Amino acid sequence: MASKQKKELAIITKEGVMAVIGAAQEDATALEFMYGSESSLSSGFVSNVKMATGNHTMVVDEPRDMPGGQNKGPNPLDVMIASLGTCQEITYRMYATVMGLDIKSISTDITGYINLNGLVGNGGPVAFTKIQGTVTLESDEPEEKLNALKKAVDAHCPMCKTLCQEVAIKLTLKYVKDSDADAVATQLKKDPVQQGPLQAVIAAGKEDNAALDKKYNSKSKLDTQTLHTKVEMPLGHKMIIDEPRTMPGGNDLGPNPLDVFCASIGTCQEITWKMFGQVMGVPVSKVSAKVEGAIDLRGLVGLKDEAVAFKSINVVVTVNSPAAQTAIEGLKGAVDSHCPLVQTVKGKIPVDLSLVVKKVGSTT
């Protein structure tokens, strides 16, 4: 049964990719897309996400070492790293196919470096300071051809280009007044996220700068002639990332990397709202985010080299609270300036991905 299902999967072909390129040459708007996500957080740091493309969902949470985290899903920063790694793999597969290179498998191991003292308001950089990792190709192709492949991928990978340059991000607030302040107060007293433990984390970071120095990681592997890749993130979280069937080799077995990237931004905003609301004593009963990112994938396929990254990203955050709107607007200022992924998108982050070649059949 499993082998039959595998045979039915669409595979990527040079003819399929060239057909997409041909369509974009005839119609400049054929590869203009809007990626995105919608998510919502009420209790703890648990956010339920719906991707813009397909019927894909996921749960995002914080680990238990963050007060109130329940580890019900990966955290937003690991998710963002996963979107980069899988976007690299898919771009490698696409370009290898067009260049006629035989690649048995493509895998990534990527780590992002950040000090969360910036997130909690202790000073220092708020965004990732750098991203490093390796891309491993299992292939017997000549080294010079694989190096040419890497050059093409790094020039045309949407996620790599988005992180390496400044991207405009617009943050819009929608305020929903909770009429029953007592009910919200009762809800928040029972919430896993509490002011005292969060303040203890902030104090620890002030006392020892290294206490909140963190690494976020994703490992993934694409080992078929399709575009779906299996991802492993820390603390046991796994997911499949794929492309929709409209992309040659896509089978829609999971969300695509660009929707996942949008989800990482939305859920990071929600978690930062929840955290700052509790620390600043501004009650937030619910926060949700809708993220939309415009991109022209002619950049991906090499038809428009200056437009590989997202053109812009819009985030609409809806906050439910019994507090006065002026208090919520003040809270917004704190959240937007301390949200790690908002600041990462707005800035230029060094991304250094080295290439490792493993000969087919080699165990090392």
Q: Look at residue 10 and tell me if it is in a domain.
A: no
Query: How buried is 214 (Cβ within 10 angstroms: 0-12 exposed, 13-18 middle, 19+ buried)?
Result: middle
Task: Provide the pLDDT confidence category of residue 364 given band limits of 50, 70 and 90.
Answer: low
Question: Which residue, 201, 220, 47, is CA-closest to 115?
Answer: 201
Our count of domains for the chain comes to: 1
The predicted pLDDT at position 307 comes to 76
Overall size of the chain counted in residues: 364
Q: Look at residue 214 and tell me if it is in a domain.
A: yes
b/e for 45-54, b at 16 or more Cβ within 10 A? bbbbbbbbbb
Distances (CA, A) of 125 to 119, 209, 347: 8, 12, 11
For the beta carbon of residue 359, count every other beta carbon within 10 angstroms. Answer: 12
Q: Is the dihedral of CA 337, 68, 42, 282 positive or negative?
A: negative
DSSP 3-state assignment of 359? coil
| pLDDT tens figures, 226-272 | 999 999 999 999 999 999 999 999 999 999 999 999 999 999 999 99
The predicted pLDDT at position 130 comes to 97
pLDDT greater than 50 at residue 178: yes
Q: Look at residue 6 and tell me if it is in a domain.
A: no
Q: Look at residue 17 and tell me if it is in a domain.
A: no
Least confident of 29-43, 242-256, 299-313: 299-313
**Across residues 310-329, what is the average pLDDT?**
96
**Across residues 346-358, what is the average pLDDT?**
95
Q: 């998510």: which residue's tokens?
A: 39
Q: What is the DSSP pairing of strand 130-138 with strand 312-321?
A: unpaired
pLDDT greater than 80 at residue 5: no
Q: Where are the alpha helices (DSSP H) in the chain?
A: 2-8, 14-26, 76-99, 143-156, 158-164, 181-189, 195-207, 257-280, 325-338, 340-346
Q: Look at residue 319 and tell me if it is in a domain.
A: yes
What are the structure tokens assigned to 267, written together? 């859920």
Q: What is the DSSP pairing of strand 312-321 with strand 168-177?
A: parallel
Based on C-alpha coordinates, what's the Rg of the chain? 21
The predicted pLDDT at position 2 comes to 43
pTM for the whole structure: 0.95
Q: How high does pLDDT run on average in the chain?
A: 94
Q: For the domain that residue 330 is a member of, what is the CATH number?
A: 3.30.300.20
The predicted pLDDT at position 359 comes to 92
What is the CA 328 to chain-centroid distance, rounded? 26
**Across residues 92-96, what is the average pLDDT?**
97
Domain that holds residue 269: 29-358
Q: 């501004």: which residue's tokens?
A: 282
Q: Look at residue 24 and tell me if it is in a domain.
A: no
The predicted pLDDT at position 125 comes to 95
| pLDDT tens figures, 108-145 | 999 999 999 999 999 999 999 999 999 999 999 999 99
Q: Nearest 10 degrees: CA dihedral of 186, 50, 83, 152? A: -150
Residue scoring higher pLDDT (361 or 30): 30
Task: Provide the pLDDT confidence category of residue 1 given band limits of 50, 70 and 90.
Answer: very low
For the beta carbon of residue 34, count every other beta carbon within 10 angstroms. Answer: 13
Angle value at C-alpha 107, between 104 and 109, nearest 5 degrees: 160
Query: How buried is 199 (Cβ within 10 angstroms: 0-12 exposed, 13-18 middle, 19+ buried)?
Result: middle
Q: Look at residue 240 and tell me if it is in a domain.
A: yes
The predicted pLDDT at position 86 comes to 98
Q: Look at residue 7 and tell me if it is in a domain.
A: no
Question: Which residue, 229, 236, 234, is CA-closest to 260?
Answer: 229
Q: What percent of the chain has pLDDT over 70?
A: 98
